[in-house]
Structure 1
Amino acid sequence: YVGTDMKKAIEGAEAIMVVVPAFAHAKIAEKLAECIGEGQIVVLNPGRTGGALEFDKIFRAKGVREKAVIAEAQTFVFASRISGPGMVRIFRIKNAVPLSVLPSKDNESVFPIISEIMPEFTLAKNVLYTSFNNIGAVFHPGAILMNAGWIETKHGDFQFYLEGISPSVARVLEALDKERCEVTEKLGVEAMGAKEWL
């Protein structure tokens, strides 16, 4: 089935992969809460920063948290870009993308099911690791802010990484990344630096 009826789409599914930008997580969680089935696994691909926590909060408010298992990936498993209206170009599948279940005590029982679906996922300690190691939180906002004029001038015909990451932009991103790593260290979460991630 391909369509817009969420209840029909997820009926009988063992795992549900949510593949939307972070700003759409709350809306999807609200709709999913209306039809989630007992024991279904919700995989946020990607979770970005705090996606699993947002789903958890909404599912709790709707009284369905105990029905579902929530997991989040650190980043999107596909290296891809929009190439036109309704078109996406997938350049490649990433080799290893950390993923964790909320709560992490369920990692060992749930991960084998998820990794069978997408073997590119690797097990992370917890969702604090996946959330705070979301490298997009470093690369995207800083580079967009520093290239706002350039992006507007090119009217959307802008190659983010190829044209937007000059040596000075890279230095700012390194400073942002250093601060992120310091925060994660204070929280007791192992941080992967941007250079190491690349």
Structure 2
Amino acid sequence: MRVGIVGAGAIAFGAAAFLEQSGHSPILWSPSGERTKRLAAGEPLVATGAIEGSFRPGVAHTAEELVSGADVVLIALPGYGHKHAFDAIAPHIRADQAVIISSHASFGALYLSRLLAARGIIVPIIAWGTTATTGRQPSLVEASVNTVRSKIDLCTVPESRSSEGLALCRRLFGDRFVERDGLLAIALSNLNPQNHMGIALCNMTRMEHGETWGQGFNVTPNVGRLLEALDRERLAIAEALGLSVRTIFEHFHLSFHVPRDTVSNMNQQMHAEGRGGTGPATADSRYVTEDVPYGLLMTVKLGELTGRDAKLHRSGVEIFSAMYGRDFFAENELLDALAMDQMTLADLKSLSREGYRPHGQPA
């Protein structure tokens, strides 16, 4: 299949390498145009680690070119770029296409559904709870792939297209998907924001000094207990919604292939096996700039709607706002565009199942 990938960072590069290795034809589009210049000039994409090889993904220069040449569109860039990406691709999406969001953030699937409904279009919008690969981007022609996840949670909006969405993802990425009970479950299935909060908060000076440091190694017992406490807040919200979501222990076991243990011990095992990864070498990291406004804040909002106050998540937004001299409570463009503060829980539940409908047309 021809897969148009919006993004050109580590996750987009990892997805492109995986797809080409599996016999598909990935096409990359960098919204800024800067991150694909060397690939467009003919240099190969070199992947190392969990995926090895030299690849030659296509390069699109505009959103229209990307979408028109694709069977399916994959969103693979940080959450703070999702609204811009949706605004760019929505005018060009066809009724015979599908969109995969890797990974889903802040009910972006609903925003895209609304844009398409305004054009009278419904397509399967597939929300992943996490990414297919993890890793770093040593250069603009390299992907260092740390792991390929064995399990990925997903759902499809509208849910009437669920079987179609699941079959598509399996065709592209193999039998590694677990269908969850709607978009609310997926919203609570992405553990990166809570985990990155604890890791960044407890290692901020390393990030600011630009050090090279082992991420798994520095999930010490105290940091691990913080991550476990954050996880209990997320699970309490899921319980209030009657949803089953993956625990932090299942996350590390399934994503990084280590035996179940305490969070700290699992990370120490990853480090001992050389798979613990390196932490951010800058404070300008998506661990904060993406995950605080687009991850932690969303969990805070769901806690408010369900009466399960996410005190640690809220504290994280407050603390990082103070540290960075920014108001991260005001930086989520998707939640603002959806006017989530004006939604009732019943409104959100209905939209999360059906999405937005073109006038007079059932979802």
Alignment TM-score, normalising by the size of structure 2 = 0.50
Shift in Å, 1:15? 1.3
Structure 1 residue aligned with 2:98 = 41
Q: 1:86 to 1:167 in 2, by over 3 A?
A: farther
Aligned partner letter, 2:107? G
Structure 1 residue aligned with 2:169 = 114
1:25-64 maps to which residues of 2 (within 5 A)?
25-60=82-117, 63-64=118-119
Q: 1:158 to 1:86 in 2, by over 3 A?
A: farther
Structure 2 residue aligned with 1:21 = 78
Shift in Å, 1:58? 4.3
Shift in Å, 1:196? 2.0
Structure 2 residue aligned with 1:78 = 133
1:76-121 alpha-carbon deviations (Å, 9 max, x no partner): 1102123345533112311121111012222023321221111133
1:135-174 maps to which residues of 2 (within 5 A)?
135-153=191-209, 155=210, 157-163=212-218, 165-174=219-228
Structure 2 residue aligned with 1:194 = 248
Paired residues, what number?
194
Distance in 2 (CA, whole Å) between partners of 1:84 and 1:158 is 19
8 A Cα contact 1:73 1:98, kept in partner: yes
Shift in Å, 1:54? 3.6
Aligned partner letter, 2:236? E
Shift in Å, 1:146? 2.1
Aligned partner letter, 2:123? A
Distance in 1 (CA, whole Å) between partners of 2:159 and 2:171 is 19
Q: 1:23 to 1:158 in 2, by over 3 A?
A: farther
1:151-181 alpha-carbon deviations (Å, 9 max, x no partner): 212x153333333x11111111111110110
Shift in Å, 1:38? 1.6
Structure 2 residue runs of 5 or longer lacking an equivalent are: 1-57, 253-363
Task: Select the structure with the greater relative contact order (CA < 8 A; seq sep ≥ 6).
Answer: 2
8 A Cα contact 2:82 2:108, kept in partner: yes
8 A Cα contact 2:113 2:122, kept in partner: no
Distance in 2 (CA, whole Å) between partners of 1:27 and 1:162 is 36
Structure 1 residue runs of 5 or longer lacking an equivalent are: none
Shift in Å, 1:12? 5.0
Structure 2 residue aligned with 1:88 = 143
Structure 2 residue aligned with 1:128 = 184
Shift in Å, 1:9? 1.7
Aligned partner letter, 1:66? I
Distance in 2 (CA, whole Å) between partners of 1:22 and 1:54 is 13
Q: 1:58 to 1:166 in 2, by over 3 A?
A: farther
Distance in 2 (CA, whole Å) between partners of 1:39 and 1:53 is 19
SS in 2 for 1:161: coil
CA-based RMSD of the aligned residues comes to: 2.0
8 A Cα contact 1:49 1:132, kept in partner: no
Structure 2 residue aligned with 1:182 = 236
Distance in 2 (CA, whole Å) between partners of 1:68 and 1:191 is 25
Identity of aligned residues (%): 20
Shift in Å, 1:33? 1.2
Structure 2 residue aligned with 1:6 = 63
Aligned partner letter, 1:107? S
Q: 1:52 to 1:160 in 2, by over 3 A?
A: farther
Larger Rg: 1 or 2? 2
